[in-house]
Structure 1
């Protein structure tokens, strides 16, 4: 039985192989294909591994080079880099330009929400907010808000939308009881005087984005920044976005406390949106981030044997959804709900975010093997050094059984990282990771095809496409 990967134009092939069966493919089963079990998260087909190869260039199983010359290393890196360095399509529309006004105010508004009377806490909490980043998540939320503006609305949608937007800065409980002093929201005669940026009061008709949806974008970035602070402590990271990581700059204790503070203030802002389903969605995201981190710490070794099994990829995809795609997907759904959209529209927004998140992380996993540390902003071979078996490793495992024991011991023995790296480069793991990322990207674009034509929808489509060619 055969499964055929979807082909891409101009995809550089690292080596020629004859594949009799894929453990994780981007194809749909045909009438002649045996019935298989789809992955519960992404509907791709999972099949037993019976991969064979006919290439003479495959790295020998018994003699793996421990060291390589600089010339060989450069050649390997350049060849692998071609997978992500293809010429990007000629885009006529810049997605960020569509919501440029809202994005311009994003950092300032978040800093206002995070202001603390304690100078040290104030500095650490805003550390990642101030640093230059992609701001992908709030950008997607704002574009989703505009893309769903002209979509069908649920009953009472407009009245509900207006009432929520009018109270996003109004406390539900007395400030004397809350005991949460924020210098950017000073008390006046015992009551809070909210500071609202000039764009927050702009007409929905003009901006097509309500104040509540703008606040959602800010909340999404706050949750993401908190997860970065916590992740860098767990990973003993030294760099983030080309600068010292939060834990290195301020110490583990301060970084953890600042991350908790971010989540606390995000939760307050979330509650003031006064929408039960939106609160449920974003609160679940926080739980998902923790669950995903636990899955990553265990790396599947408690349930997966040293012999390759499709369950290994199921585990990886589930972990990836929890750690990366959950925040994007549920924020997209929340944006549609705050705009009063119908369930069908909200479901489509969720599917876009889920598939975009999975594609985004797969490209991240690919970049760890194809981009230099200087370009990426973090050390080379970072994932392997952390003991992580990401998509390229799992695909390579089908061809090299020796990877199984190394994955289970998290590449902890001397030489494991170098051996695993060489196996990945020699396998078709990079090619297949890229193809899977493209498949998820197409699913994301397909999900929002029901939306009316608009610049915002085109912007969302371009984000899904551009993500495949990024280098950081």
Structure 2
């Protein structure tokens, strides 16, 4: 059995996206631990806040950036942050060693560790700008509505809600930021993958154009960065900024599978092989640690293992990184101790890996209608995900197909047949179950609460989802 080393992605129509988050977990109607119901008020505020944060002075840009938020989306990332924040609120004040928090004034936080006192903004509200608004606007704010200074609610409303539900304003804003970063990545990914549908309708690149979709994704990242800076926590800024970089790294790993294509001097461009410029030596260029050797150098099993580790690392970067780092950030903002912060990180990491592995499995087992995007796309795109890697272990003849990204006319059908014969889908499900089990172990370090139970239900539901 292959055992990977690492076992431990003002609009009334926003309501459609919220409904899909409810569909994702599919709890029993009478369940008191329904994840969505537990934070439904926060999810509604989150949607409105995102609508205000992404606005610009250009109507077409507004239209493109809001396009994916209008359709039905899973909203898994903000749901995780909000539920985790609610669960973390049950930790006794005496165990919050990173930041001192007054339980009767949850909006005021002392300066966080490692920040010079003169530069600490930890006690300020995430609605407030750091730079003067005249500098952020760069124009007359009375001419064009600029959302950088247009909060959806007052400080008094924030304070009232936080006292009632235990979710800090900064944690709520973190949930919004995570969803904005994720949506920006979808706009970019659909251009890269030549996708024609997303969330049951035309993808952004088809509805508008490649150029507009890319620019809208960039704009979303810019708006998310503004909100991220206003959290006034350098560690959280570092974590979430790294998650953005990880998304790009993961996409590059997917674009060029260096495990099966060890020639780093060439890239594929629209099906053609292109020689890339040689480095000048002025800047050091790292060579990726993963590589496939010839049969004379290493065994077939070791080559498959190397390819699997490459796949898992890419999966972490593209999907689990944002979940894990936003979960860790929620714990940091809650003032938790180091052990709890690490458990929150590992929870997000394991859940993220489980989520994407299930997604890769669904590409082989479900329809485009249920998936909300083209089914069977991975092999068409030349991607060797877990099901085909498990098949490769039993069928070495798949190696050349993986190396050429299933580019010959018969490759895709032969690979599908091999996956079926080798029980690649079943083995992939078993791998996802291992990560699900690890995520549940991480959750059980939290105090017992309805929010923790809801997170456990959400985690288990990832294995049974159909889209």
Question: How high is the TM-score relative to the length of structure 2?
Answer: 0.79
1:429 pairs with 418, 424, 431, which one?
424
2:192 pairs with 234, 239, 243, which one?
234
**Partner Cα distance (1:141, 1:357) in 2:** 13
Per the alignment, residue 440 of structure 1 pairs with 435
Per the alignment, residue 178 of structure 1 pairs with 136
Per the alignment, residue 53 of structure 1 pairs with none
Aligned 8 A contact 1:141 1:332 in 2? yes
1:284 and 2:242 aligned? yes
Residues 128-155 of structure 1, C-alpha deviations (whole Å, 9 max, x = no match) = 1221111000000000101111222125
Q: How does 1:348-427 map to 2 (within 5 A)?
A: 348-427=343-422
1:275 and 2:233 aligned? yes
Per the alignment, residue 23 of structure 1 pairs with 2
TM-aligned CA distance change 1:88 to 1:155, over 3 Å: closer
Q: How does 1:163-242 map to 2 (within 5 A)?
A: 163=109, 164=122, 166-179=124-137, 192=149, 194-196=151-153, 200-242=158-200
Residues 28-80 of structure 1, C-alpha deviations (whole Å, 9 max, x = no match) = xxxxxxxxxxx2x435xxxxxxxxxxxxxxxxxxxxxxxxxxxxxxxxxxxxx
Residues 281-311 of structure 1, C-alpha deviations (whole Å, 9 max, x = no match) = 0000001000000111112322225844311
Per the alignment, residue 83 of structure 2 pairs with 143
1:117 and 2:117 aligned? no
Residues 102-157 of structure 1, C-alpha deviations (whole Å, 9 max, x = no match) = 01122111010001010011110111122111100000000010111122212542
1:131 and 2:71 aligned? yes
Per the alignment, residue 266 of structure 1 pairs with 224
- Shift in Å, 1:468: 0.4
TM-aligned CA distance change 1:184 to 1:207, over 3 Å: farther
TM-aligned CA distance change 1:404 to 1:192, over 3 Å: closer
**Partner Cα distance (2:453, 2:339) in 1:** 19
- Shift in Å, 1:380: 2.7
TM-aligned CA distance change 1:270 to 1:417, over 3 Å: same
**What do you get for the CA RMSD once the two structures are aligned?**
2.4
Aligned 8 A contact 1:222 1:263 in 2? yes
TM-aligned CA distance change 1:275 to 1:179, over 3 Å: same
**Partner Cα distance (2:195, 2:66) in 1:** 18
**Partner Cα distance (1:104, 1:463) in 2:** 19
TM-aligned CA distance change 1:123 to 1:165, over 3 Å: farther
**Partner Cα distance (1:235, 1:365) in 2:** 15
- Shift in Å, 1:193: 5.6
Aligned 8 A contact 1:291 1:322 in 2? yes
- Shift in Å, 1:195: 3.8
**Partner Cα distance (2:459, 2:27) in 1:** 12
Aligned 8 A contact 2:56 2:145 in 1? no
TM-aligned CA distance change 1:129 to 1:420, over 3 Å: same
Secondary structure at the aligned position of 1:452 is classed as: coil
**Partner Cα distance (2:142, 2:447) in 1:** 42
Unaligned residue ranges in structure 2 (runs of 5+): 9-25, 110-121, 263-290, 295-299
Aligned 8 A contact 1:373 1:380 in 2? yes
- Mean CA deviation greater in 375-384 or 429-438: 375-384
1:335 and 2:330 aligned? yes
Aligned 8 A contact 1:161 1:338 in 2? no
**Partner Cα distance (2:99, 2:336) in 1:** 10
Unaligned residue ranges in structure 1 (runs of 5+): 1-21, 26-38, 44-86
**Partner Cα distance (1:421, 1:282) in 2:** 37
1:42 and 2:4 aligned? no
Q: How does 1:41-120 map to 2 (within 5 A)?
A: 41-43=6-8, 92=31, 93-120=33-60
Question: How high is the TM-score relative to the length of structure 1?
Answer: 0.79
- Mean CA deviation greater in 427-436 or 155-164: 155-164
Aligned 8 A contact 1:112 1:184 in 2? no
Aligned 8 A contact 2:55 2:146 in 1? no
- Mean CA deviation greater in 170-179 or 459-468: 170-179
- Shift in Å, 1:94: 1.1
Per the alignment, residue 325 of structure 1 pairs with 320
- Shift in Å, 1:262: 0.3
Aligned 8 A contact 1:247 1:255 in 2? yes
Aligned 8 A contact 1:95 1:459 in 2? yes
Residues 256-300 of structure 1, C-alpha deviations (whole Å, 9 max, x = no match) = 000000000000000000000000000000010000001111123
**Partner Cα distance (1:195, 1:310) in 2:** 50
**Partner Cα distance (2:247, 2:221) in 1:** 12
**Partner Cα distance (2:355, 2:235) in 1:** 26
TM-aligned CA distance change 1:230 to 1:244, over 3 Å: same
Aligned 8 A contact 2:304 2:389 in 1? no
1:153 and 2:84 aligned? no
TM-aligned CA distance change 1:173 to 1:416, over 3 Å: same
Aligned 8 A contact 1:304 1:311 in 2? yes
- Shift in Å, 1:342: 1.3
**Partner Cα distance (2:367, 2:135) in 1:** 52
